[in-house]
Structure 1
Amino acid sequence: MKEQRLALLNLHIAIVLLGISGLFGKLLPIDPTLIVLGRTVIGAAVLAGILLFQKRLQQAFAGGWSLSKAQWPLNMLLGIVLALHWITFFKAIQVSSVAIGLLAFASFPVFVTLLEPLLFREKLRLLDLLTAAGVVLGLFIIFPLSSMDSQADKVAGIAWGVVSALLFALLSLANRFRIQNTDAVTLTCQQNIGAALITLLLIPAGGLSIMANHWPLLLALGLLCTTLPMLMFLNSLRHLKAQLVSLVTCLEPVYGIVFAAALFGDVPSSNTLIGGAVILLAITAGTLIRNKSRSFS
Structure 2
Amino acid sequence: MNVLLKNHLKLHFVVILYGFTAILGKLITLPAPQMVWYRMIIAFLVLGGYLWYKKMPIAIGTVNILKLMGIGLVVAFHWITFFHAVKISNVSVTLGCMASTTLFASFLEPIIFRKRIKWIEVLIGLVIILGLYLIFQFELTYWKGIITALISAFLAGLFTVLNKIYIDKYHPVTISFYEMLSGFISIGIFLIIIEVLPNNLLIPTNSDIIYILILGIVCTAYAFVVAVDVMKVLSAYTVVLAINMEPVYGILLAFFIFGQSEFMSAGFYLGTLVILAAVFLHPILLRFQKK
Letter in 1 for 2:101: F
- Equivalent residue for 1:258? 252
Q: 122, 139, 158: which is aligned to 1:129? A: 122
Q: Which runs of 5+ in 1 are unaligned?
A: none
Q: Which runs of 5+ in 2 are unaligned?
A: none
How far apart, CA to CA, are the structure 1 residues paired with 2:145 and 2:96?
Answer: 10
* C-alpha contact 1:142 1:271 (8 A) present in aligned 2: yes
How far apart, CA to CA, are the structure 1 residues paired with 2:72 and 2:232?
Answer: 25
Residues 2 and 292 (structure 1 numbering): CA distance in 2 closer, same or farther, change over 3 Å? farther
- Equivalent residue for 2:187? 199
* C-alpha contact 1:84 1:164 (8 A) present in aligned 2: yes
How far the C-alpha of 1:55 sits from its partner, in A, is: 2.3
Aligned length: 283
Residues 282 and 240 (structure 1 numbering): CA distance in 2 closer, same or farther, change over 3 Å? same
Q: 278, 283, 291: which is aligned to 2:287? A: 291
- Equivalent residue for 1:174? 162
- Equivalent residue for 1:49? 49
How far apart, CA to CA, are the structure 1 residues paired with 2:86 and 2:145?
Answer: 6
The Cα RMSD (Å) is 1.7
Residues 246 and 118 (structure 1 numbering): CA distance in 2 closer, same or farther, change over 3 Å? same
How far apart, CA to CA, are the structure 2 residues paired with 1:258 and 1:207?
Answer: 36
How far the C-alpha of 1:207 sits from its partner, in A, is: 5.0
Q: 248, 271, 283: which is aligned to 2:267? A: 271
When normalised by structure 2's length, the TM-score is: 0.92
- Equivalent residue for 1:156? 144
Per-residue CA distance 1:69-89 (angstroms, 9 max, x = gap): x12111111111110000011
Q: Matched residues, percent identical?
A: 29
* C-alpha contact 1:102 1:256 (8 A) present in aligned 2: yes
The 4+ residue runs of structure 1 with deviation greater than 6 A are: none
When normalised by structure 1's length, the TM-score is: 0.90
> How does 1:21-40 map onto structure 2 within 5 Å?
21-40=21-40
- Equivalent residue for 2:175? 187
Equivalent residue of 1:208, what SS? coil
How far apart, CA to CA, are the structure 2 residues paired with 1:18 and 1:240?
Answer: 18
* C-alpha contact 1:34 1:211 (8 A) present in aligned 2: no
- Equivalent residue for 1:118? 111
Letter in 2 for 1:41: I
